A and B are shown apart, each in its own frame.
Chain A
Amino acid sequence: MAELKYYIIRRILTFLPTLIGLTLITFVVSMLVPGNPARLWAGGIKASPEVIEAVKKRYHLDEPLYMQYYYYLRNLLRGDLGVSPLTHRPVITDIMSYFPATVELAIFAELLVILMGIPLGIISALKRDSVIDHAVRVFSLIGVSVPVFWLGLMLQWLFYYYLGWLPAGGRGPAPPRIYTKLYVLDSLLCGRWDLFWSNVAHIILPAFTLAYIGVGMVARVTRSSVLDVLSSDFVIFLNVKGLSRLSVLRHVIKNALVPIVTILGLEFGGLLGGAVITETIFFWPGIGRYAVQGINSLDFPAIMGVTVLIGLIYIIVNLAVDLLYAVIDPRVRL
């Protein structure tokens, strides 16, 4: 177990340089943006030179680049991502109000990916070349190849317009008391089943739209990974030992898990960052829509804030994946 502890410490130490790299790149990109931010933030062409000077001083725009980077880092650590010239509110406030909706959507989508992708992949591998295997293959291929916007629109047409079973879009009703900002969970915590079902009904279509690519990928990776393990010698020995089918399967799945966890981690990052299209189709008030608004109106603090946030989450998820590897596979801990 000591090995595991050292591994975790080592891995967390490498986390820091990655973080610095992320902020550095975001900072440099923001510097490359054409235009005069001081003038823009002071009110545009009509701004008087005095005001522009004042803005420059206030935001340290007159100091050398490395000092600006220092201030940027310092503000970042304080959670200060600047003020959006569009909404005139701190970017962090905006993000905090949009982000939970995206997190909720991504968690739901990730659950779908795990609960559908892995079992489909396992069944596919165990029933290799059967009708089920071929069906899963086709289902996965469709998932990987269908454009998200088309899938979203079709699902909307089918379940809202044609069948009338589910709402067309938007987030569900807010529960009376907010604990986690995740409405589905909060409805449960308030004991309001009506709100819970309504929120599930709202989230299920966008979550599936977002998840389908991942379901297909995870099913394919799981299938090949399980097949790979099934052909290894130790599986024969497990059978020689006279273990039950279920016990053998447990060994096989644990061994097949490493590549699956990799995909799941990347997928979750992608779900957060890639929610833009889905959120737009389903009027989901999440960070993706905020980013689109920001891009359309050249709201640089907002764009940078979202970039840093998603980058940060990517890094954290990768860290979590690496730690999971070590928990699964003792050889990684060395």
Chain B
Amino acid sequence: MRGGDEILRIEGLCVYFYTYAGVVRAVEDLNLTIYRGETFALVGETGCGKSVTMRAVLRLVPPPGRIVKGRIIFDGVDLLKLPEKEMRKIRGSKISMVFQDPNTALDPLYTAGYQTTETILAHRKVSKKSAWQRALELFKVVEIPEPKRRLRAYPHELSGGMKQRVVTSIALSLNPKLLIADEPTTALDVTIQAQILELLRDLQRKYGVTLVMITHNMGVVADMADRVAVMYAGSVVEVADVYELFGNPLHPYTKGLLRAIPSLTSRNERLQSIPGTVPNMIRPPPGCKFHPRCEYAMDVCKRERPRMIDMGKGHLVACHLYS
């Protein structure tokens, strides 16, 4: 454990989506602490609220979603209390984000270089020339071949992997303290995926940026992360060191997730899935939201929401089995 030096602390975060069908409780009473310099993975199924949580950190929850409650302390400042203008100064310069699909993340009408320099110019009082100089350096850092020519290329002239490199260079252009990568490889070819992960790992080491990876790919987690939080239906159910989590998973949901990974060594084994489906988030089940799918469910699970319990060595779990 790095201990103490936290960069981001989320306390009691609630994000609700006000739809016609009802209020979708996408994130409910979520607590999370991320330490400076680490690579942190946020895992869970599609729709469990992991992207929304990190979008909330940037205060860019898409409508009709709204941050209802909670505190998001970044570097000692509660982001939810900042005026919008101050928040814009933080976005892109102190906290940045890379998206799942690089093909739609860039404005098709502007060159890659323009979109990089405009970020620099929005935050720093530098000349256009030095901004382009910086963009060229960044393109070299993210290993874009022929960076000079690529600066003048439009997004449609670049491949998917190349676009993700451009997006990454934009996200890194102002040396952010926190970089959120929202499934940065899902939309890419497998070989390109490995390259992008390699790139992120290198950049993380070189610049000491705190990296939050949002993913549902346990392979990526094992490969990249120092610590992991598992989310289920809008809440964190387990947090642990990556070795601890894979070696000694405590929450029944985490156990299920790990059993669902195909492995090369155990050959004649059927892949196991977690029975049931993700709960209705408009009227989630009472008590522990996982209890309808849990093989260890007890009476108390249907009544009471489990609290987060510290099992030692920073291993936290929210499950009645351990109380």
Please report A residues at the B interface, Cβ cutoff 8 Å.
232-234, 236-244, 247, 251, 254-255, 328-331
Q: In the complex the two chains form, is A240's CB within 8 Å of B156's CB?
A: no
Residues of B within 8 A of A254 (CB): 109
Residues of B within 8 A of A234 (CB): 104-108
Stretch at the interface among B66-74, B94-102, B243-251, B308-316: B94-102
Chain B, residues 167-203, CB within 8 Å of chain A (1/0): the string is: 1001100000000000000000000000000000000
Number of interface residues of B (CB under 8 A): 29
Q: In the complex the two chains form, is A241's CB within 8 Å of B170's CB?
A: yes
A251-B107 contact given A241-B119, A242-B89, CB 8 Å threshold: yes
What is the CA–CA distance of A239 and B99 in the complex, to the nearest angstrom? 13
Q: In the complex the two chains form, is B58's CB within 8 Å of A240's CB?
A: yes
B122 CB–A CB distance under 8 Å: yes
Q: In the complex the two chains form, is B118's CB within 8 Å of A242's CB?
A: no
CB within 8 Å of A: which of B84-133?
A: 88-93, 96-97, 99, 101, 104-110, 118-119, 122-123
Q: In the complex the two chains form, is B106's CB within 8 Å of A255's CB?
A: no
A239-B122 contact given A254-B109, A255-B107, CB 8 Å threshold: no
B154 CB–A CB distance under 8 Å: yes
Nearest chain-A residue to B87 (Cβ)?
A242
> Nearest Cβ distance between residue B147 and chain A, in whole angstroms?
19
Residues of B within 8 A of A251 (CB): 107, 109-110
> Nearest Cβ distance between residue B254 and chain A, in whole angstroms?
30
B32 CB–A CB distance under 8 Å: no
Residues of B within 8 A of A243 (CB): 88, 92, 118-119, 122
29 contacts between A and B (CB under 8 A): A234-B104, A234-B106, A234-B107, A234-B108, A236-B60, A236-B62, A237-B106, A237-B167, A237-B170, A240-B60, A240-B96, A240-B97, A241-B91, A241-B92, A241-B170, A242-B90, A242-B123, A243-B88, A243-B118, A244-B88, A247-B118, A251-B107, A254-B109, A255-B107, A255-B108, A255-B109, A328-B109, A330-B108, A330-B109
Nearest chain-A residue to B55 (Cβ)?
A236
> Nearest Cβ distance between residue B168 and chain A, in whole angstroms?
12
> Nearest Cβ distance between residue B119 and chain A, in whole angstroms?
4
With a 10 A CB-CB cut-off, give which of B90, B93, B106, B109 has the most chain A CB atoms. B109
What is the CA–CA distance of A242 and B92 in the complex, to the nearest angstrom? 5
Residues of B within 8 A of A236 (CB): 60, 62, 99
Nearest chain-A residue to B154 (Cβ)?
A330
Nearest chain-B residue to A258 (Cβ)?
B109
What is the CA–CA distance of A237 and B106 in the complex, to the nearest angstrom? 7
> Nearest Cβ distance between residue B51 and chain A, in whole angstroms?
11
Residues of A within 8 A of B109 (CB): 251, 254-255, 328-330
Residues of A within 8 A of B92 (CB): 240-243
Residues of B within 8 A of A242 (CB): 88-93, 119, 122-123
Residues of A within 8 A of B93 (CB): 242
With a 10 A CB-CB cut-off, give which of B105, B123, B171 has the most chain A CB atoms. B105
Residues of A within 8 A of B118 (CB): 241, 243, 247
Beyond the given A240-B91, A255-B107, please list 11 additional residue pairs across the A-B interface where CB-CB is below 8 A: A234-B107, A234-B108, A241-B96, A241-B119, A241-B122, A242-B88, A242-B91, A244-B122, A251-B109, A255-B109, A329-B109
Residues of B within 8 A of A232 (CB): 104
> Nearest Cβ distance between residue A329 and chain B, in whole angstroms?
6
Which one of B89, B108, B123, B167 lies within 8 Å of A329 (CB-CB)? B108
> Nearest Cβ distance between residue A182 and chain B, in whole angstroms?
34
What is the CA–CA distance of A234 and B88 in the complex, to the nearest angstrom? 16
What 9 A-B pairs come out closest when comparing CB atoms?
A: A242-B92, A242-B91, A233-B104, A241-B92, A330-B154, A241-B119, A237-B105, A240-B97, A234-B107
What is the CA–CA distance of A66 and B123 in the complex, to the nearest angstrom? 69
> Nearest Cβ distance between residue A229 and chain B, in whole angstroms?
10
Nearest chain-B residue to A331 (Cβ)?
B156
CB within 8 Å of A: which of B146-169?
A: 154, 156, 167
Residues of B within 8 A of A241 (CB): 91-92, 96, 118-119, 122, 170
> Nearest Cβ distance between residue A183 and chain B, in whole angstroms?
39
What is the CA–CA distance of A161 and B58 in the complex, to the nearest angstrom? 59
Nearest chain-A residue to B120 (Cβ)?
A241
> Nearest Cβ distance between residue A333 and chain B, in whole angstroms?
9
Q: In the complex the two chains form, is A239's CB within 8 Å of B101's CB?
A: no
What is the CA–CA distance of A331 and B123 in the complex, to the nearest angstrom? 29
With a 10 A CB-CB cut-off, give which of B93, B118, B167 has the most chain A CB atoms. B118
Nearest chain-A residue to B89 (Cβ)?
A242
What is the CA–CA distance of A83 and B106 in the complex, to the nearest angstrom? 59
Nearest chain-B residue to A238 (Cβ)?
B107
Residues of B within 8 A of A247 (CB): 118, 122
What is the CA–CA distance of A92 and B247 in the complex, to the nearest angstrom? 91
Residues of A within 8 A of B170 (CB): 237, 241
Residues of B within 8 A of A329 (CB): 108-109
Residues of B within 8 A of A240 (CB): 58, 60, 91-92, 96-97, 171
A237-B122 contact given A242-B89, A242-B93, A330-B109, CB 8 Å threshold: no
Residues of A within 8 A of B119 (CB): 241-243
Q: In the complex the two chains form, is B99's CB within 8 Å of A237's CB?
A: yes
Nearest chain-B residue to A231 (Cβ)?
B62
A239-B90 contact given A244-B122, A254-B109, CB 8 Å threshold: no
> Nearest Cβ distance between residue A239 and chain B, in whole angstroms?
6
